[in-house]
Amino acid sequence: MKSIRPIEGRSLATPLSKLLLFLAVLFSPSVFAVSPANSGQILDLTATSAGYISIMIFVLAYLLVMGEEVIHLRKSKPVLVAAGLIWGIIGFIYVQNGMSELSEAAFKHNLLEYAELFLFLLVAMTYINAMEERRLFDALRAWMVGRGFSFRTVFWLTGFMAFFISPIADNLTTALLMCAVVMKVGGINHKFISLSCINIVIAANAGGAFSPFGDITTLMVWQKGVVHFAQFIDLFIPSLVNYLIPATIMSLFIVNRTQLVQEDEVIVKRGAKRIVGLFLLTIATAVCTHTFLGLPPVLGMMTGLGFLQCFGYFLRMTFDKSVAKKRKQAEIAQDKKRLSYLGQVVPFDVFTRIARAEWDTLLFFYGVVLCVGGLGFMGYLSLVSEAMYSHWDVTYANIAVGVLSAIVDNIPVMFAVLTMNPDMGLGQWLLVTLTAGVGGSLLSIGSAAGVALMGQARGIYTFAAHLKWTPVIALGYVASILVHLWLNASLF
């Protein structure tokens, strides 16, 4: 038989042939081979090539998420791809074993969990965007800036407002609003701005921990039914302690002087206060739907979206009449500023507010839920649950969850815990809710609020600036846990 010689000394194993060979081996059925299982049983893929490849895909995707600020790749993109690849691997294996109905049912279960949270968050974001469009937050900022408060007063005022606003509005929106205030007041005083940003991140995360509406993690816990709406209030004092201890220490390093800043008057658009009222009514509807009717809270939230749409219709239908009336009043008063403003105002459009939702966050949430759900279906979460909640003390395991959430986003961490569903009492579920919520404050990258403020106060509030105060923040973290263990001992 005639031998084949390499042409011009080059190997026939070109990069293309190597790639094709790798893909052929990678996707061959033998690579994904699993031990035979009884009909109807879920396959354990934790010790297979398919499982290892899925773990590698998820880790790579999350490394890209963590490097978002450096590579400028939105965090939703890598996890969307990872979710598709992981479930594609699962689907391929289950088809090979004639069990595709199990993988399909598992995927639909995870998709339904995401859909409920997605619609809930979409309504909440729409209301927040509507309040922003009505200039309610601008008016609040102008009031704070124009009062001539000292630096230390602004530090405490923005911190407490972040703490008490974030349980209703999300912690990201609250942090951005308060950061705008401290940057306006601080001017060139970078130390004040940096300390205030750290303070705001801690306050927003702590405030969001004792309310189902304050953070995605608390919302997931409430939606899952492991903690009821009224029971979150047991975390109020531990959350307050988590904020007060580092805030008190940091406030000692702020020079207590006043810097008057002139802020232009902000004209709030018509219907702003009524939209706030509708938002509170929507929250009440969601709570009542879940508490008294036994239905998912998303039903109440979507009903609340209908409230906003109906009110938006009223604002549009009465828009021309309202503008004409206000223009006549401004002409009589010779108010040129208001006349100029009325010439620029446009009718309220609820669908524009929906379009301005944080779609990157919502799609990132989809990728995380499906990735973690896929790895859980493979059997990895059972292994983690066995390692953490069987071999460790439950309290230590829940404290570790909070520390982990400072490195990895708290959304996948909490979703993993909920998917594991360890056998814990109410006190422990409240503990892990607390630690996952406030643990992200230990590092600037540990929460959405921290990441957002690094972008808003770029070069002033940085990872290194936050890291300098991590030991102080850790004091608050430990103190809040001890207070919870002592104050809510009857719940354990």
Spatial separation of the C-alpha atoms in residues 322 and 108, rounded to whole Å: 48
In a domain, 353, yes or no: no
Q: Tokens for 464?
A: 């290194």
What lies within 8 Å, CB to CB, of 26 at 6+ separation is: 53
Beta-bridge mates of residue 258: 150
Residues spanned by the domain of 280: 270-347
**Listed residues 320, 347, 374: the one ending a domain:** 347
Number of domains in the chain: 2
Q: How far apart are the first and last CA of the chain?
A: 79
Spatial separation of the C-alpha atoms in residues 323 and 343, rounded to whole Å: 9
What lies within 8 Å, CB to CB, of 150 at 6+ separation is: 256, 257, 258
In a domain, 66, yes or no: no
For 27-66, where are the alpha helices, taking DSSP H only?
49-66
In a domain, 30, yes or no: no
In a domain, 452, yes or no: yes
Pair 296, 116: CB distance under 8 Å: yes
Question: Do residues 322 and 198 both lie within one domain?
Answer: no
In a domain, 387, yes or no: yes
Question: Do residues 328 and 369 both lie within one domain?
Answer: no
- pLDDT truncated to tens, each residue of the chain (492 aa)? 444 344 344 443 454 444 444 444 444 444 455 544 444 578 889 889 999 999 999 999 988 887 776 788 888 899 999 999 999 999 999 999 989 999 999 999 889 988 988 888 888 888 888 888 888 878 877 887 777 788 898 899 999 999 998 888 767 778 877 888 888 788 788 899 999 999 999 999 999 899 888 887 888 899 888 999 889 999 999 999 999 999 999 999 988 777 666 666 777 888 889 999 999 899 899 889 988 888 888 999 999 999 999 999 998 898 888 878 777 776 677 666 665 665 566 778 888 888 887 788 788 889 988 998 899 899 887 888 778 888 888 999 999 988 988 877 677 788 888 888 888 999 999 999 999 999 989 988 777 788 778 777 878 888 888 999 999 999 999 999 999 999 999 998
What lies within 8 Å, CB to CB, of 435 at 6+ separation is: 398, 399, 401, 402, 403, 405, 477, 481
Question: Do residues 462 and 428 both lie within one domain?
Answer: yes
Question: Do residues 241 and 378 both lie within one domain?
Answer: yes
In a domain, 53, yes or no: no
What lies within 8 Å, CB to CB, of 221 at 6+ separation is: 212, 227, 414, 418, 429, 433
In a domain, 13, yes or no: no
Question: Do residues 438 and 310 both lie within one domain?
Answer: no
What lies within 8 Å, CB to CB, of 443 at 6+ separation is: 406, 407, 450, 463, 466, 467, 470
Spatial separation of the C-alpha atoms in residues 41 and 88, rounded to whole Å: 19
Q: What is the DSSP letter of 146?
A: T
